[in-house]
Structure 1
Amino acid sequence: MHARSNSTPRWFFGWLVFATIAWPALAQDDACLACHGDRSLQSASGRSMFVDPARHASSVHGALGCTSCHMTIRDFPHPKRIPRVDCSTCHAEASADVPHSAHGVLGAAACLSCHGPPHEIGRAAETSPQSCATCHADAVQQYQSSIHAQFLAAGDAQSPTCQTCHGPSHRILPARDPASPVARRNLPDTCGACHANPNFLAQHPIPFARPIESYRLSVHGRAVAAGNEQAPSCSDCHSSHAILPARDPRSTINHWNVPQTCGVCHTEIANTYKESIHGQAVARGVRGAPVCTDCHGEHTILAPAEPESLVNPARVSRATCGRCHADERLAERYNLPLDKVPAFEDSYHGLALRAGSQTVANCASCHGVHNILPSSDPRSTVHPSNLASTCGKCHPGAGTRFALGPVHVRPASATEHPVVAFIRVTYWILIPLVVGFMLVHNLLDFLAKLIRGRFLPRTGETLPRMNLHFRIAHWLTAVSFPVLVVTGFALKFPEQWWARPLLRWESEFALRGTLHRIAGVVLLVSFFYHIAHLVFSRRDRIILRFLRPGLEDLRDLWGVIRYNLGRTPERPRFGKFSYAEKIEYWAFVWGTVVMAVSGLLLWFNNFTLRYFPKWVSDAATAIHYYEAILATLAILIWHFYMTIFDPDVYPMDMAWLTGRTAAEHIRHTRRFEYIVALEQQAKPEPVEKSAAEPADTTPPKAAEAPTAEAPAAEDNPQGS
């Protein structure tokens, strides 16, 4: 009861205050409406002075009385001319902002220009964009057709309106103002408020991942951020108000409209593109024909010099051109040949590109960039009449003969490349036969020695085998050959782990190719040094007589095979050189000549292209590759077994380093050579002289019978 008696005066006092203030205002509003409620009431200038009480009540100011805005009116009737309403009385912050905004030029009329009739002012969310249409009718009309307006009409409260992009209503600035949210430099941030917002992207079906982030990394985004006013921002491609999805035919980024959109800035390029085979196909409505964004990307457009660019010289052939021209569905639909991209990738140009070269020719180097035309068109850079000029950009002085044959042809094509196809088939037969023979031969010899378990004694005694000149030639070969193998196969298999360190600097410096050519020169120096040695040294030249193949070598080979299979208890006796050494020596001579000729044709390609048809270069490429495989396998299987893995010489025959080999090895494999070596060792001999003696001192092989001092049971069929 006590609490109730205390609350009564407070309640009564509050009601009394309201009645004292509000009731007179309401009563005064009725007095105002006595005149202004008349629809026919007009000012002296003819302007209607009617106030619809219902509309006013539903407006944002509906709870305010007349004198809340018309504060100077105190008596009735009021003066005919009354002061203009000052909105800043309540809206001080907004009134202070407007004069500095784009709408400040409207002066005192700024408020009503946007907010509408003074007695029917609605909420901003309810009046935009209709209220903006009073002045910006075209922009609003474009907006109403946009994807943003469509989502807004569908009830998506997150869809942007005018203020979302242009900023707070009273602080809207002209687009040319650097502080404006729609200034070119600020558009990525403005659009990114939604399009870079993970929550927004999770709720809306936008088909592109991280478009704003991608744009910022692009050549356009970086240029805009640097202050380039000519660089395109979001609105230049997507438009400002009529933003539509790419699937809409009216969209500026629709597939068919992309060339026109990009052509606004890149006019000359767009005109060139429209004349190309791609542009003509787009004009005919060919959906699979590429437009600008198919090659350059959409938001992540990078400069061609950037390694990640889709049109970077090292990537364009595979990442861009090859994406369509190696696509089976497109090839079937448009009758495109599928072998061009694989053929290019197998060529020197393609392999060098895969290795990271920035200077070797790619698709665009020959076919052009935006001016691509079919080879049958006389304007095409790959028309037969223009090939000399096109290829001459990289190969000065290249003639027309090399253009007589097909270009993008795989070696397996017997119809278009009969010579290369023949070479390929020949090596495919030769390599398995030769390598298979080597493997079987060495495996039999190795197993036979393991099974017998009787190995040569290691006495430590050595005899001369290779003089200095032979060793120098061998050293040069031993250094150059592995370099040639690694650097050569690194071109063919650039993605392999062992090739990547070598190709790391390929984009800046052709290290692989430089090392390969240096090693090739060293190998030729070794080869010609050996020839000169034999020419000028009569004593050493005699080895050619011992290395001459004969029927006895076939008999020795057959005898060794029978011995290793356990069909005979005695192994054949050899002369100064066994059949295995003769095979390797002449294979090395043959291989060096073949690799040198084919390599020089490829090295001096300008000469080759000038005087020979293209198939000569292709044939040289095929021979160089397959001969390299054969030579590498021969060294690994044949030579390494003879000098390293043969149980009789393991862990290594040191003749190539010291010039001397194990005496027991010579005695058990070459009885007469052993006697000659002992005699040579007994008398001094100049270091440059060979240990070989004239052939007429060699007794017949039949006389080389085993003796007690020289048992033949465990002879080596290959020697050193």
Structure 2
Amino acid sequence: MRLLIAGLFSVFLAAAPPSAKDCLSCHDIDLAKFAATKHGSMACTDCHSSITSLPHADKPAPVKCATCHEDQVKAYGKSVHGVAKQNGMTDAATCASCHGPAHAILGAGDPGSKVAKQNLADTCGACHSNPDFLTKHKIPFAKPVEAYRLSVHGREVAKGNAGAASCSDCHGSHDILASRDPKAKVNRANVAETCGLCHGDVQSAYADSVHGLAVKRGSKDSPTCTGCHGEHSILAPSEPGSLVNAARVSTMTCGRCHGDERLNTRYGFGDKVPAYQDSFHGLSVRGGGKSAANCASCHGVHNILPSADVRSTVNPANLSQTCGKCHPGAGTKLASAPIHVRTATITEHISVRWIRLAYLVLIPLTIGFMLVHNFLDWLAKLRRGPHHGGTHEGFPRMNPTFRITHALVIVSFVSLVVTGFALKFPEAGWVKLFQSFDPTSSLRGVVHRIAAVIMMAGTVFHFIHLAVSKRDRVILVELLPSWQDAKDIFNMLRFNLGLIQDRPTFGMFGYAEKMEYWAFMWGTVVMAVTGVLLWAENWSLRHFPKWVLDAATAAHWYEAILATLSILVWHWYLVIFDPDVYPMDLAWLNGKASADHMRETRPEYYRKTLEKRETGSDNS
């Protein structure tokens, strides 16, 4: 009987599976560490089920995770990783690639787990940050994991925010599919729903928008969440590098599609993007301004609707409220006029067209005449040599009051030119130098307005001075144009061409100075009126139709070009490059012109002035 019991006991022991202690006789496994893993409560043979006795075969059957994780293994088999493995890609991700060695697998909630939210970037990055791996398998995405780490999602995960998105939240875990697969969570048709798992309210608004509905209809051109925000490198809108940052959204995001010539041909977007870019809003944003309206300011963000939709923020019935956010009371005027108007198109107002055409004729004719006149004068004087002698005698020309006025004009005009053209050409290299210490261009705008006030104040001061000073008021009479000026222009051209021998002479002022003086006064009035209208845009929009501001913008721009070129070509020649006064007429600085020059060009005026000085009647 005892022998029978002993035999049965030995048979039972032989049939029992090996214990962990039995396995330790050959395998170096730390049971204490294993006990802390996800599978720590399991016996060795629970996974190595093919081992029923010891010693076992040299190569026991592989562990079958599907025994416990059937659904996960099925999902993996259909995933991009599983399919790649089945197709012979030996380095495709397996269970161990993501979860770690079999005896060290930790639960996803364990901070030490390779699939814990804060560690997923490193786990996925083992392959997707490996340049050799990416090159070998021709994976086109450049540094997706690195981009994710710098993104708003990656940084939040690194801070321990459990609600922030990790790789698996967007791509899935075991069921990762290629983006081209219609079932993939990151397929463009499904991206909004994927993002909506965290951003539900946003997804609801987007789904009903013009973009969301187009994607739902199957459009491959309409943007999804990633089309505007980016994919792995998503940044908060407040960050300068974000694709939806206020300074970039119009150019880098909306403009990328709506300014594309092929998409424009397909969908008829029109010239809205270039029209916006050339508008004050667009120029300000291009120059770094953050307060000017961008596309999203008017059209909305995720809830963009066609303008014909009564819910749209740009529906005519809603423009008063939309535009009124920045321009109180201006909505009624704006609603009755085209918004995105580009110069030289059928949408521009007739007033703008006539202003543009007038200046396009006036500028070439005026500057062309100046260039020809000055070039002929310069050649003639080079041939005969300057008429001034070796003396440096000065002749009274500008008293202190005139010099003060002139100084105000110099400072304000140069400031206006620099700050004005900086607005119009924000991408120019010289403008970038200013933006290095004025990134938002706010200082540029302040300087421009201060300079405008100085220019207008200087002009007003000039006329007050003339009204008060009887002696100086004579210049208004002397500056009045006459028929003789036309004769002098004609005769000067003939003289410089060598057709006549006698050079024309002038009185206190010649035709060149008269032309410049009255052109300056006319330009100052035009720039002041149009500038004030544009400066007080809210008041202007409440009291005038929008085309008034469009006309003011056109006149202000073209007059600025004409004025700047006139100073460079006409005034600088008269006071700097004219061989008779070179290197400079210093009357603006010390009040005295060259006596030789005055005696040669204005003999009668020179003689009368000397007589007045001798009799004491000239107090200049």
Shorter chain as denominator, the TM-score bin is over 0.9
Counterpart pick for 2:244 among 311, 334, 338: 311
Q: Which amino acid aligns with 2:555?
A: I
**For 1:201, what is the secondary structure of its paired residue?**
helix
Q: Which residue of 1 is the match for residue 531 of structure 2?
A: 599
For 1:505-520, what aligned pairs fall within 5 Å after superposition?
505-508=437-440, 510-520=442-452
Q: Which residue of 2 is the match for residue 127 of structure 1?
A: 62
In 2, are the aligned partners of 1:163 and 1:169 still within 8 Å (CA)? Answer: yes
Q: Are 1:154 and 2:87 matched, yes or no?
A: yes
Q: Which residue of 2 is the match for residue 629 of structure 1?
A: 561
In 2, are the aligned partners of 1:262 and 1:292 still within 8 Å (CA)? Answer: yes
TM-score (norm 2): 0.95
**For 2:118, what is the secondary structure of its paired residue?**
coil
Deviation (angstroms), 1:659? 1.0
For each residue in 1:60-115, what CA deviation from the matched residue of structure 2 results, as whole angstroms up to 9, or x when unmatched? xxxxxxxxxxxxxx985544654763233333415333211111233xxx322222
Aligned length: 609
Q: Quick one: distance in 2 between partners of 1:125 and 1:356?
A: 67
Q: Percent identity?
A: 55
Q: Are 1:103 and 2:39 matched, yes or no?
A: yes
Query: Using a 3 Å threshold, how does the CA distance of structure 1 residues 274 and 625 change in structure 2: closer, same or farther?
Result: same
Q: Are 1:464 and 2:396 matched, yes or no?
A: yes
Q: Are 1:256 and 2:189 matched, yes or no?
A: yes
Q: Which residue of 2 is the match for residue 23 of structure 1?
A: none
**For 2:190, what is the secondary structure of its paired residue?**
helix
**For 1:400, what is the secondary structure of its paired residue?**
helix
Q: Which amino acid aligns with 2:427?
A: E
Q: Which residue of 2 is the match for residue 212 of structure 1?
A: 145
Q: Quick one: distance in 2 between partners of 1:86 and 1:415?
A: 87
Q: Quick one: distance in 1 between partners of 2:71 and 2:273?
A: 50
Deviation (angstroms), 1:531? 1.0
**For 1:463, what is the secondary structure of its paired residue?**
strand
**For 2:29, what is the secondary structure of its paired residue?**
helix
Counterpart pick for 1:177 among 86, 110, 119: 110
In 1, are the aligned partners of 2:387 and 2:600 still within 8 Å (CA)? Answer: no
Q: Quick one: distance in 2 between partners of 1:390 and 1:506?
A: 29
Deviates more, 1:456-465 or 1:503-512: 503-512
Q: Which structure would you say has the larger Rg?
A: 1
In 1, are the aligned partners of 2:19 and 2:44 still within 8 Å (CA)? Answer: no
Deviation (angstroms), 1:417? 2.4
Q: Quick one: distance in 1 between partners of 2:516 and 2:504?
A: 19
Q: Are 1:93 and 2:67 matched, yes or no?
A: no
Q: Which amino acid aligns with 2:35?
A: P
Q: Quick one: distance in 2 between partners of 1:598 and 1:503?
A: 26
**For 2:113, what is the secondary structure of its paired residue?**
coil
Q: Which residue of 1 is the match for residue 235 of structure 2?
A: 302
In 2, are the aligned partners of 1:272 and 1:370 still within 8 Å (CA)? Answer: yes
Q: Which residue of 2 is the match for residue 38 of structure 1?
A: none
Counterpart pick for 1:488 among 415, 420, 426: 420
Query: Using a 3 Å threshold, how does the CA distance of structure 1 residues 124 and 209 change in structure 2: closer, same or farther?
Result: farther
Q: Which amino acid aligns with 1:99?
A: A
Q: Quick one: distance in 1 between partners of 2:247 and 2:325?
A: 18
Q: Quick one: distance in 1 between partners of 2:346 and 2:190?
A: 44
Q: Are 1:369 and 2:301 matched, yes or no?
A: yes
Query: Using a 3 Å threshold, how does the CA distance of structure 1 residues 301 and 126 change in structure 2: closer, same or farther?
Result: farther
Q: Quick one: distance in 1 between partners of 2:184 and 2:456?
A: 65
Q: Are 1:225 and 2:161 matched, yes or no?
A: no
In 2, are the aligned partners of 1:352 and 1:360 still within 8 Å (CA)? Answer: yes
Q: Which residue of 2 is the match for residue 196 of structure 1?
A: 129
Query: Using a 3 Å threshold, how does the CA distance of structure 1 residues 683 and 470 change in structure 2: closer, same or farther?
Result: farther
Query: Using a 3 Å threshold, how does the CA distance of structure 1 residues 156 and 617 change in structure 2: closer, same or farther?
Result: same
Q: Which amino acid aligns with 1:95?
A: L
Q: Which amino acid aligns with 2:433?
A: P
Q: Which residue of 2 is the match for residue 715 of structure 1?
A: none
For 1:317-716, what aligned pairs fall within 5 Å after superposition?
317-337=250-270, 339-508=271-440, 510-682=442-614, 691=620
Q: Quick one: distance in 2 between partners of 1:530 and 1:275?
A: 62
Deviation (angstroms), 1:118? 2.9
Q: Quick one: distance in 2 between partners of 1:134 and 1:415?
A: 71
For 1:19-38, what aligned pairs fall within 5 Å after superposition?
none
Q: Quick one: distance in 2 between partners of 1:639 and 1:630?
A: 13
Counterpart pick for 1:164 among 97, 112, 122: 97
In 1, are the aligned partners of 2:192 and 2:225 still within 8 Å (CA)? Answer: yes
In 2, are the aligned partners of 1:262 and 1:270 still within 8 Å (CA)? Answer: yes
Query: Using a 3 Å threshold, how does the CA distance of structure 1 residues 116 and 684 change in structure 2: closer, same or farther?
Result: farther
Q: Quick one: distance in 1 between partners of 2:361 and 2:595?
A: 40
Query: Using a 3 Å threshold, how does the CA distance of structure 1 residues 124 and 500 change in structure 2: closer, same or farther?
Result: farther
**For 1:502, what is the secondary structure of its paired residue?**
helix
TM-score (norm 1): 0.82
Q: Quick one: distance in 1 between partners of 2:262 and 2:406?
A: 55
Q: Which residue of 1 is the match for residue 205 of structure 2?
A: 272
Q: Quick one: distance in 1 between partners of 2:606 and 2:226?
A: 78
Q: Which amino acid aligns with 2:34?
A: V
Q: Quick one: distance in 1 between partners of 2:452 and 2:440?
A: 22
Q: Which residue of 2 is the match for residue 238 of structure 1?
A: 171
Deviation (angstroms), 1:523? 0.7
In 1, are the aligned partners of 2:177 and 2:184 still within 8 Å (CA)? Answer: yes
Q: Are 1:112 and 2:45 matched, yes or no?
A: yes
**For 1:661, what is the secondary structure of its paired residue?**
strand
In 1, are the aligned partners of 2:488 and 2:511 still within 8 Å (CA)? Answer: yes
In 1, are the aligned partners of 2:18 and 2:52 still within 8 Å (CA)? Answer: no
For each residue in 1:446-492, what CA deviation from the matched residue of structure 2 results, as whole angstroms up to 9, or x when unmatched? 11111123522141111211111111110000111111111111111
Q: Quick one: distance in 2 between partners of 1:399 and 1:193?
A: 56
Q: Which residue of 2 is the match for residue 16 of structure 1?
A: none
Q: Which amino acid aligns with 1:380?
A: S
Q: Quick one: distance in 1 between partners of 2:475 and 2:35?
A: 106
For each residue in 1:199-218, what CA deviation from the matched residue of structure 2 results, as whole angstroms up to 9, or x when unmatched? 21111132211111111111
**For 2:572, what is the secondary structure of its paired residue?**
helix
In 2, are the aligned partners of 1:166 and 1:181 still within 8 Å (CA)? Answer: yes
Q: Quick one: distance in 1 between partners of 2:247 and 2:209?
A: 23
In 2, are the aligned partners of 1:503 and 1:512 still within 8 Å (CA)? Answer: no
Q: Which residue of 1 is the match for residue 220 of structure 2?
A: 287
In 2, are the aligned partners of 1:402 and 1:615 still within 8 Å (CA)? Answer: no
Q: Quick one: distance in 1 between partners of 2:562 and 2:588?
A: 23
In 2, are the aligned partners of 1:278 and 1:289 still within 8 Å (CA)? Answer: yes
Deviation (angstroms), 1:301? 0.5
Deviates more, 1:400-409 or 1:191-200: 400-409
In 2, are the aligned partners of 1:351 and 1:494 still within 8 Å (CA)? Answer: yes
In 2, are the aligned partners of 1:399 and 1:611 still within 8 Å (CA)? Answer: no
Deviates more, 1:115-124 or 1:652-661: 115-124
Structure 1 residues without counterparts, runs of 5 or longer: 1-73, 692-720
